Amino acid sequence: MVEIFAEAVAPCATRTAKRSTFTPPPGGFYPRNGYTRHRMTSFQSTLGEGEEAIAEELAASQREISIAEFFEKNKHMLGFDSGARGMVTAVKEAVDNALDATEEAGILPDIYVEIEEVGDYYRLVVEDNGPGITKEQVPKVFGKLLYGSRFHSREQSRGQQGIGISAAVLYSQLTSGTPAKITSRTKGSADARYFELTIDTDTNEPVIQDEGSTTWDRSQGTRIELEMEANMRARSQLHDYIEHTAIVNPHARIELREPNDHFKFERAEGAELPAETEEIRPHPHGVELGAVIKMLNATDSHSVRGFLQEEFTRVGAKTADSIIDAFRDRYFGREMVWPVDSTVWPPNAEAGEEDATGADAVRAAVTDAVSNKSGDDTAAFADAVVDELGSAASYSELEAAVAAAAEDVSVETGTTFGETVRENAVEAVWEVLSATRGDDLYSLVDAATSVQKDDATVAGIARRIGEKFDEDTPRDRLTRPDLRQFVARAAETTEDVDDVTVGETSRENITDEIWDAMALVTDDVPLTREVADERNAARDLLDAMTAVDVMAPPTNCLAPITPDLIEAGLKKEVDAEFYAAATRDAEVSGGDPFVVEAGIAYGGEIPADGTADVMRFANRVPLVYQRGACATTQTIKQIGWRNYGLDQPGGSGLPNGPCVILVHVASTNVPFTSESKDALANVPEIEDEIELAVREAARELKSYLNKKRSMEKRREKQNVIADILPKMATKVSEMTEREALNVEDSLARIMNNVLVEADVADGALSIVVENHDDVNANPEVTAILSDEPSDLSAGSVVEMDGEWFVKWEPSVSGGDEAELTANVPDGASCELSVKGIEAEKLTVNQ
Amino acid sequence: MSSETTDAEARERLIDLAAEFYDQFEGGDIPHLEVPTRSKSNIEYDEDADVWVYGDRKSTRSANSVRGARKLLKAVYTMEFLAQQLEEGRSSTLRELYYLSESWDEKEAKFGTQSESDKLIEDLEIVSGVKREDLHMRPEESGAKIMGPLRIREQTRRGDREIHCQEDVGQGGYQIPNNPDTIEFLENDADFVLCVETGGMRDRLVENGFDEEHDAIVVHLGGQPARATRRITKRLHDELGLPVTVFTDGDPWSYRIYGSVAYGSIKSAHLSKYLATPQADFIGIQPEDIVEYDLPTDPLSDSDVNALESELEDPRFQSDYWTEQIELQLDIGKKAEQQALASRGLDFVTDTYLPERLDAMGVL
């Protein structure tokens, strides 16, 4: 909730509803008044002496305003614009709170909403069976804006959706002048507490007008009563809001009583509380710079490594190390590595005139640098350095090599090679190593550039890059951007002087090649508080976090409704003949996990003309306004519904027909298009998931419609033939002057039917099931007999009220038949009832 | 198929058919009717009878589809009507049957087109084994006109008539009735029978006295010959022992006319033994005549070519003689009418062409 407000005040913060990174400066908000400064400046320039007085005057009139005061003047931003909308928002806040509170306490919600006309105003009452609020908390919860427990929790919650109930209190106070009346009772209390309160808009503090204890028929719960200016033009939105809330919260029972109507939305049978969600820590890919700095300041960890593992989700030791390496690259850079075998002694000797090359040159350098040590010791040292150095080294590696060599030699010879000696040695060796930069770089540049560049060009580029190193880069340590610069400048010079092109791709390739050859720096990374203080370091850390692959965040912070409950919810409020639902697996967007679910209801009592009804939800809260701007609606419009059996003129747009489409997006951070949180923003990952979820449900619709159509065809065929056949039979029996015929059997055979026939004759009962279809049939046959049967060959019999019910469930394969026989007294009658076979495929003869 | 079926017998066959349906219903079976497939692909040559009859392929009308059920209903209603008609000793035309169905109460039993009812009568004819004529159903087209030295006796509704087909008839000749089995041959002085396709040619022959000169019985086919015509031709051959010749235009449709006289038609192949005269010979116009006599011609149209090619596939025309002639015609790409012989003079046909051809065929 904090961030909506923050967005309203500081437009430089992002407009999406990400967790706020904007911290209110201490002391409160200033009005958006850059204009004051400009004015002061122009005054300053034009006036001479009087300027100070003006400035003071202006300064005196500046003051802080409270949140409440801001809200007072900007109600529309938070859903309280018109009288119609205001009522819906107030109901929404209260109902959301009630649902959240009861769920958290593990209670199945039972919520009562009443709206009554009271003179010029409307009175809103919302009651719940939740755990109640303590008497200390009531004033703050209802009387202080932006107060609540949900702001910082990173789990799916309705609370993310709104500013809070206190805004409704303020609205009611502003429009009707009367205080809010709150009754609450916690479990086990003898009495309920009663409060009448308002909000002091200057201080954003509750003002208790009245307080006391009172009797109440609920043993626990909360009741809020608000009087406000409103109008019932939003009746249908209000009704939709409650009805839709009931659909996606099938575990709740909600009652709505308003001036013209009374609705009860019952709990779905067997619906339980949604799964408990757990709060998760932020994901490295989902935080912004300000948040990182804040976290660095707040953490207990001293080391960055510890900070990463403690404060973020999905960061273990290995990931932390990867991030830190990436951080090192950005913060420190890497060090260039120079090969040993290209060195010569003395450094910069002309070709052919060197005294030693390669390792020998290194030895020579070391020997030259060391004084005051015996020849043998020095030689030993030099050898040791060469050994430690290996084939190539960066400056740091050189330092380490020298140190190691000194240690070894100290142990061996007993002579100490102290700091100064080591430093000199390092310097000397470095001189020879780095003397041949240009030549050394040649092979890298050559590998990176195409065959078309001739040797001279390559050599030229390599040399020029080498020259760059000399100037401002101690240790030949560079960040990648710096390296890129070097390459760019070298390339430019080459282009000018040698008249060849070195394009962007080449430069990029050269940079890559060199960067890959450079060595990671193993310096200690700074501590967390140091990084917090230095913005560039924090920036580098954030970049490193983003660059490293991190596993998607866990999804136990989400509680999807699940397909069964979506269907149950739809079933109880929408009278349809077909229901389908689908829940996708959780995905990630911008570091926040989300889950998309879809549901479809079709046919039945849903009105057939007009477009399909789209119900949109975010975190189990209905989205009622701004339907056209919502990503959900847009995604649904783009689906080709004809493919799924619905009429869609023009091939795009909402489909026509008796259909309800439900979409629910649950996330720790649902992205909206504006601060009023009515419509989902167009985030590609979420849109893709919406489409996939809807298509999953639509596929079930398609097969249902296909089946329905083929059943209709069957029925038609059956009707025509059932009409014709008896006429034919009558004709032939007339012509042949034989008895009238029964055509049922022939009919059954024609329709690939299952024929069930009962025959009672001479004390014998015979029930036959003939399966003329080619698939198995498993009918449930019930024969109601007027007399008791004996010697049943199959099935079971039960007596009830003087009648005998024979129950038989044969399994008959295609083309086969099954028979039940029994003995019955003469004159017994038999009535058949068959279940388990569709009416169109069943023929019953009795 | 017997040549005579009494009314009582015919009626009984219809009722037997109804009884078959009855039994199917009683047994809980799906009512159905099987008839031989009446198409080119189901024509077989019957060696003994020397004619073409239906093969073994069958089409089934079954009540297990909406269409089939409707057909069977119509069949049954029609059967009842025919039985009634026979009992009353009345008759009707095929077209009258179609209109009659409109008066039936049952909507589903009404015929949509006459071709539907015609086909149904054919079905019933085959399945019941009773000729259409014996069911008292008449077609529209009338039978042939005969001119020649032949005395006959016809049984009519109004009493018996004795007629000599040259002396007792006018210029048009004797018109045979729908049921030629009512004719009795009394005496004749004929040597052979000449069947002629067109009226114009027939008149030419009569005017030139061809029938008197050569003692020929001239039978005017009138295009595709009616059943009665084919029947009388067969009877002339079988009962009087007269050779039969056929003289038509020189195009594929005319060859089919010859075919139906000699081989049997596809539509009534079940009656071939009753209607076809396999010994009938083809005079012309042959494609080789077109070449030899250099007759005025018309080019073959696309449909003519298609018909010729279709005849190459027709089992009835797959003899060496026909294959040669048809391929010749496809080569020259021309057709000629029999009356084109007039280009050689009005008397050419009776003075030269026919005598030459008949002589070559061994008839004269």
Taking the C-alpha atoms of residue A213 and residue A189, their distance in angstroms, rounded to an integer, is 11
Residue B282: phi and psi, rounded to 5, are -100, 125
Q: What is the pLDDT of residues A368-386, one digit of tens each?
A: 888 777 888 888 888 888 8
pLDDT at A824: 87
pLDDT at A167: 86
Burial category of B154 from C-beta neighbours within 10 Å (exposed 0-12, middle 13-18, buried 19 and up): middle
Neighbours of A35 (CB within 10 A): 9
Distance of CA B169 to the CA centre of its chain: 24
Say yes or no for a CB contact (<8 Å) between A746 and B63.
yes
Range A625-658 burial, b when 16+ CB lie within 10 A, else e: ebeebbbbbbbbbebebeebbbebeeeeebbbbb
Interface test with A, best of B12, B23, B25, B79 (most A CBs within 10 A): B25
* Residues 6 or more apart in contact with residue A224 via CB below 8 angstroms: A94, A124, A125, A126, A127, A142, A165, A180, A181, A182, A183
pLDDT at B234: 93
A822 DSSP β-pair partners: A765
- Scan for tokens 């398609």, then name that residue: A702
Taking the C-alpha atoms of residue A332 and residue A525, their distance in angstroms, rounded to an integer, is 9
CA-based nearest residue to A415, from A375, A450, A387: A375
State how far residue A716 is from chain B, nearest Cα, in angstroms: 9
Burial category of A97 from C-beta neighbours within 10 Å (exposed 0-12, middle 13-18, buried 19 and up): buried
Burial category of A135 from C-beta neighbours within 10 Å (exposed 0-12, middle 13-18, buried 19 and up): middle
Residue pairs spanning A and B at CB distance below 8 A:
76
Q: List the helix and strand counts (H, then E) for chain A.
A: 25, 28
A124 DSSP β-pair partners: A115, A226
First to last CA, chain B: 34
For chain B, which residues score pLDDT lower than 50?
1-3
Say yes or no for a CB contact (<8 Å) between B76 and A743.
no
pLDDT at A10: 40
Taking the C-alpha atoms of residue A580 and residue A700, their distance in angstroms, rounded to an integer, is 7
* Continuous H helices in chain B: 7-26, 66-88, 94-101, 114-128, 199-207, 210-214, 227-240, 252-262, 272-275, 287-293, 302-313, 320-332, 348, 354-361
Residue A770: phi and psi, rounded to 5, are -110, 125
Residue A164: phi and psi, rounded to 5, are 120, 165
Taking the C-alpha atoms of residue B258 and residue A813, their distance in angstroms, rounded to an integer, is 58
Taking the C-alpha atoms of residue A332 and residue A483, their distance in angstroms, rounded to an integer, is 13
CB < 8 Å to B63, chain A: 721, 724-725, 728, 746, 750
Taking the C-alpha atoms of residue A84 and residue A91, their distance in angstroms, rounded to an integer, is 11
Half-sphere exposure of B225 (CA within 13 A, CB side): 35
DSSP letter for each residue of A265-314: EPPPTT--PPPPP---PPPGGG--HHHHHHHHHH-S-SSHHHHHHHHSTT
Nearest-5° Cα angle at A614, A608 to A619: 150
DSSP letter for each residue of A186-237: -TT-SSEEEEEEEEETTTTEEEEEEEEEE--SSSSEEEEEEEE---GGGHHH
pLDDT at B151: 93
* Residues 6 or more apart in contact with residue A798 via CB below 8 angstroms: A804, A805, A807
Confirm if A544 and A330 have CB atoms less than 8 A apart. yes
Neighbours of A211 (CB within 10 A): 14
State how far residue A840 is from chain B, nearest Cα, in angstroms: 15
pLDDT at A34: 41
pLDDT at A16: 41
* Residues 6 or more apart in contact with residue A34 via CB below 8 angstroms: none
A777 DSSP β-pair partners: A812
Taking the C-alpha atoms of residue A758 and residue A760, their distance in angstroms, rounded to an integer, is 7
A781: which DSSP letter?
Answer: E
Taking the C-alpha atoms of residue A461 and residue A463, their distance in angstroms, rounded to an integer, is 5
Nearest-5° Cα angle at A581, A580 to A585: 150
Interface test with B, best of A735, A738, A745, A754 (most B CBs within 10 A): A735
By C-alpha distance, the chain A residue nearest B70 is A724
Say yes or no for a CB contact (<8 Å) between B22 and A743.
no
Say yes or no for a CB contact (<8 Å) between A717 and B66.
yes
Active site residue ranges of B? 99
Confirm if B169 and B163 have CB atoms less than 8 A apart. yes
CB < 8 Å to B109, chain A: 727
CA-based nearest residue to A617, from A17, A252, A175, A92: A92
Distance of CA B179 to the CA centre of its chain: 13
SS3 A659: strand
Range A436-464 burial, b when 16+ CB lie within 10 A, else e: bbbebbbebbbebbeeebeeebbbbbbbb
Burial category of A420 from C-beta neighbours within 10 Å (exposed 0-12, middle 13-18, buried 19 and up): exposed
Touching A: B residues 1-20, CB under 8 Å: 14-15, 18-19
For chain A, which residues score pLDDT lower than 50?
1-22, 25-45
CB < 8 Å to A736, chain B: 15, 18-19, 22
**Is the CB of residue B238 less than 8 Å away from at least one CB of chain A?**
no
Instruction: Pull the structure tokens for residue B292.
Output: 């030899």
pTM across the whole model? 0.59
Taking the C-alpha atoms of residue B163 and residue B151, their distance in angstroms, rounded to an integer, is 6
Minimum-distance CB partner of A725 among B69, B77, B109: B69
A264 DSSP β-pair partners: A255
Instruction: Pull the structure tokens for residue A562.
Output: 């699940």
DSSP letter for each residue of B11-33: HHHHHHHHHHHHHHHHTTPPPEE
Minimum-distance CB partner of A745 among B14, B28, B76: B28
Taking the C-alpha atoms of residue A667 and residue A589, their distance in angstroms, rounded to an integer, is 10
Torsion-angle region of residue A801: left (phi > 0), alpha (psi -120 to 50) or beta?
A: left
pLDDT at A48: 53
Say yes or no for a CB contact (<8 Å) between A746 and B14.
no
CB < 8 Å to B26, chain A: 741
**Is the CB of residue A134 less than 8 Å away from at least one CB of chain B?**
no
pLDDT at B143: 79
CA-based nearest residue to A778, from A744, A759, A747, A754: A754
Taking the C-alpha atoms of residue A458 and residue A428, their distance in angstroms, rounded to an integer, is 29
